[in-house]
Amino acid sequence: MATVSLESFCSEIERCRVEALCALETAAAEEHLERARVEFAGARSGRLKSIQKQLGALEAADRPAGGRHFNELKTAITAALEAAQTRLARVAAAADAIDVTLPGQPFRIGHVHPITQTIRRVQEIMSRLGFESVDGPEVEDQWHNFEALAIGAEHPARDPLDNFYLAVAHGADPLLLRSQTSTVQIRIMEQRKPPLRIVSLGRVYRPDTADATHYPMFHQVEGLLVEPGATMADLKGVLRFLASSFLGGDVHVRFRPSFFPFTEPSVEFDMEWGGRWVEMGGAGMVDPAVLAAVGYDPATVSGFAFGLGVERIAARRYGVADIRDFYRNDVRFLQQF
């Protein structure tokens, strides 16, 4: 075999490197890649193989350097071949995942939860009567959840089994997750002077076993009006307006005598809608003891208050039979609203 100079051997290696890397990096399909593989790395007649054969034609002294260059070329081509295989496999997987020829799917947009919709709707209706929407904390003290509302130490509503008391340091005032939104009446009256019209909607907590009409967390609407000359007739008018606006159509409201420690007289109120009377909540004239507890003068101010369950009116309006459905987060249920 005629001898080959190291110089021409190296330029052959360089040419091969440029052509091989270019072919491998631009191969856009399996068959291009296979053709390039056979051309450069084919075991019998690939370019690498023929360069390897030329090694023997180098002067003996040039062989170590030539061998080093050859090995570098082989490593570079092997790496480029692997990189190209990975790249094409990834392209193939992505093509499998998205069929761009399929017709488009409608885009599903979420919406506000039915309980939140109900809350916003009640706030909007009450605002038309001048009731300002206010909030209170969900972790409460004994004063706001019970004492200021004339619920004394011996009252069964304070039973640890009927409330979520929190662990507090020994000797500290007990705290609890509020069991009613009537707490907000106290918080607002402590901060403001009459006249006032407020409505507060939020979560309350009671350790009830969950069933179709109970849940350990639910929502209440609390209304309070303190104004000179407020009467039970005004209370009934406000409730009827709320019910008619929320449920639509002609809704009647009826009072039944009842008892709450913080109202005197107290009533429970029902609504007649679609030919059926349904129990809705409690209400009454604010008890003078409550007015005194917040520093108002019961001889000169009076007012009324009411409370009702958000889940109950939402279930009534939407025809939901089991309030647990509101919390299951099943999109098939929620997307109906």
Contact 180, 220 (CB under 8 A): yes
Identify the residue among 283, 290, 313, 323 touching ligand DAH (CB under 6 A): 283
Q: How many angstroms separate the CA atoms of 223 and 61, rounded?
A: 102
Helix, strand or coil, per DSSP, at residue 337: coil
Which helix (H) or strand (E) segment holds residue 282: the answer is strand 276-286
The amino acid at 255: F
**Considering beta carbons, is residue 118 or 182 the nearer one to ligand DAH?**
182
Token pair of 4 as six digits: 């080959």
Please list every residue from 87 through 106 that binds ligand DAH, using CB under 6 A.
Answer: none
Q: How many angstroms separate the CA atoms of 49 and 124, rounded?
A: 83
194 cis-preceded (ω within 30 degrees of 0)? no
CB of 104 to ligand DAH, least distance (A): 50
Identify the residue among 260, 269, 273, 296 touching ligand DAH (CB under 6 A): 260
Stretch that binds ligand DAH, among 58-66, 129-137, 165-173, 299-307 (CB under 6 A): 299-307
Q: Which x/- pattern over 302-321 shows residues binding ligand DAH (rule: CB under 6 A)?
A: ---xxx--------------
**Considering beta carbons, is residue 37 or 236 the nearer one to ligand DAH?**
236
Q: What angle do CA 326, 331, 333 make, to 5 degrees?
A: 50
Q: Which x/- pattern over 214-243 shows residues binding ligand DAH (rule: CB under 6 A)?
A: --------x---------------------
Number of residues that bind ligand DAH (CB under 6 A): 12
Nearest residue (beta carbon) to ligand DAH:
307
Q: How many angstroms separate the CA atoms of 213 and 312, rounded?
A: 8
Stretch that binds ligand DAH, among 32-40, 229-237, 239-247, 300-308 (CB under 6 A): 300-308
Helix, strand or coil, per DSSP, at residue 248: coil
Q: Confirm or reject binding of residue 194 to ligand DAH (CB under 6 A).
A: no
Contact 295, 190 (CB under 8 A): yes
Q: How many angstroms separate the CA atoms of 255 and 53, rounded?
A: 107
Q: Confirm or reject binding of residue 200 to ligand DAH (CB under 6 A).
A: no
Q: Confirm or reject binding of residue 202 to ligand DAH (CB under 6 A).
A: no
**Considering beta carbons, is residue 40 or 146 the nearer one to ligand DAH?**
146
Residues that bind ligand DAH (CB under 6 A): 180, 182, 222, 260, 263, 281-284, 305-307
